[in-house]
């Protein structure tokens, strides 16, 4: 009887140690240095400017050859200059190139980003390697830098990811106050170089790898979906601050941490988890300066549903170290994730 009990204890201890090691392994930074990916951000904006300084038809052929679908999508969809199948769009671009606004934007973009985006290339190289570590079959996109006339911060297409540098000029850019109706300060304050890599990874996750299901109608399902995206970013961007990943100020992040039990109690008391009314749901997951129903003197953080969903997913993964990142991202049962997380903030 004693040997049997001893053996049971041994098995139990081995099992517990295994769980602990798995949990530690999840938080430990993995080594991806040997994965053969090196990101180069092509300066499409510089090549595109060649349409201003060189014979247009010749330069257009070079752009189409070098950038393919991106050149077509950029000209036809972002600039809306017309089809590139004929040269009619040249007549749209000529006055743009001659105008002061284009030259001013080009000046400021080149001042902030004069040459290669070496810092962002190094960050994206590490991030893309991590994606490849978890998803070996994933085909990583080519990365292009452009400016959009303040229309599109990022662009995702067939085989490419585009970065709109004119919307990453720094929070104090002279252009953003004039765009306050489109990009209020609580959004434009994040238009900084440090936000490029997180927004690329978030865009790849949301638009390419894990698009949100049309079946996600409830606030809970949207909370868990957004929580999974942020948890994915945790694994791919281990050195990026949480505030940058979710788009909070440090004060907003601290407020959520301090009042996490209040937030959760409010969502439960108001029966919001299974709410399907679009307008009501947006209050808790959309960009805003604060959440009007919570906090005093407008001190609350916005997107409290997104933040809470993130905490639910973290808790779920901490309680279930046997679940892989791939299994988490493929799990669309928000209710089961909530149940198994046993989320009870104090």
Please count the other Cβ atoms lying within 10 Å of the Cβ belonging to residue 169: 23
DSSP helix/strand/coil, 8: helix
Instruction: Tell me which long-range contacts 251-257 makes (C-beta under 8 A, separation of at least 24).
Output: 252/301, 252/302, 253/301, 255/295, 255/299, 255/300, 255/301, 256/301, 256/304, 256/307
To which H or E segment does residue 42 belong?
A: strand 41-43
Picking from 107, 78, 82, 111, the residue whose alpha carbon sits closest to that of residue 94 is 82
Tokens of 78: 């972002």
Q: What is the pLDDT of residue 26?
A: 55
Q: What is the pLDDT of residue 3?
A: 40
Distance of CA 27 to the CA centre of its chain: 20
Q: What is the pLDDT of residue 28?
A: 64
Cβ contact 243:252 at 8 Å: yes
Q: Which regions of the chain are under pLDDT 70?
A: 1-28
Say what the pTM is: 0.91
Tokens of 197: 């890599």
Question: In this structure, what DSSP letter does residue 139 have?
Answer: P
Q: What is the pLDDT of residue 289?
A: 95
Q: What is the pLDDT of residue 29?
A: 78
């Amino acid at each position: 009887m004693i040997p049997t009990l001893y053996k049971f204890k041994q098995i139990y201890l081995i099992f517990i140690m295994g769980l602990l090691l798995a949990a530690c392994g999840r938080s430990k930074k993995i080594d991806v240095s040997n994965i053969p990916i090196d990101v180069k951000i092509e300066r499409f904006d510089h090549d595109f400017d060649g349409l201003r300084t060189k014979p247009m038809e010749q330069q257009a052929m070079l752009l189409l050859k070098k950038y393919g679908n991106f050149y077509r999508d950029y000209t036809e969809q972002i600039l809306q200059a017309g089809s590139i199948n004929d040269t009619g769009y040249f007549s749209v671009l000529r006055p743009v190139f001659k105008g002061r606004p284009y030259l001013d934007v080009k000046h400021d973009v080149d001042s902030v980003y004069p040459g290669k985006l070496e810092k962002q290339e190094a960050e994206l190289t590490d991030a893309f390697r991590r994606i490849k570590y978890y998803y070996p079959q994933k085909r990583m996109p080519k990365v292009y830098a452009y400016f959009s006339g303040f229309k599109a911060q990022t662009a995702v297409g067939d085989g490419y990811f585009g970065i709109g540098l004119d919307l990453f000029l720094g929070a104090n850019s002279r252009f953003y106050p004039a765009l306050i109706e489109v990009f209020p300060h609580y959004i434009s304050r994040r238009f900084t170089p440090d936000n490029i890599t997180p927004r690329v990874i978030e865009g790849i996750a949301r638009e390419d790898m894990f698009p949100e299901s049309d079946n996600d109608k409830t606030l809970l399902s949207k909370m868990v979906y957004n929580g999974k995206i942020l948890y994915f970013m945790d694994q791919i961007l281990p050195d990026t601050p949480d505030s940058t990943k979710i788009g909070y100020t440090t004060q907003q992040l601290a407020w959520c941490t301090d009042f996490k039990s209040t937030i959760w109690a409010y969502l439960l008391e108001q029966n919001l988890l299974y709410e399907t009314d679009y307008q009501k749901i947006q209050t808790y997951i959309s960009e805003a300066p604060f959440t009007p129903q919570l906090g005093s003197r407008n001190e609350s953080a916005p997107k409290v549903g997104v933040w809470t969903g993130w905490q639910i997913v973290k808790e779920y993964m901490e309680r279930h170290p046997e679940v892989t990142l791939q299994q988490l991202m493929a799990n669309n049962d928000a209710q089961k994730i909530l149940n198994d997380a046993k989320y009870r903030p104090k």
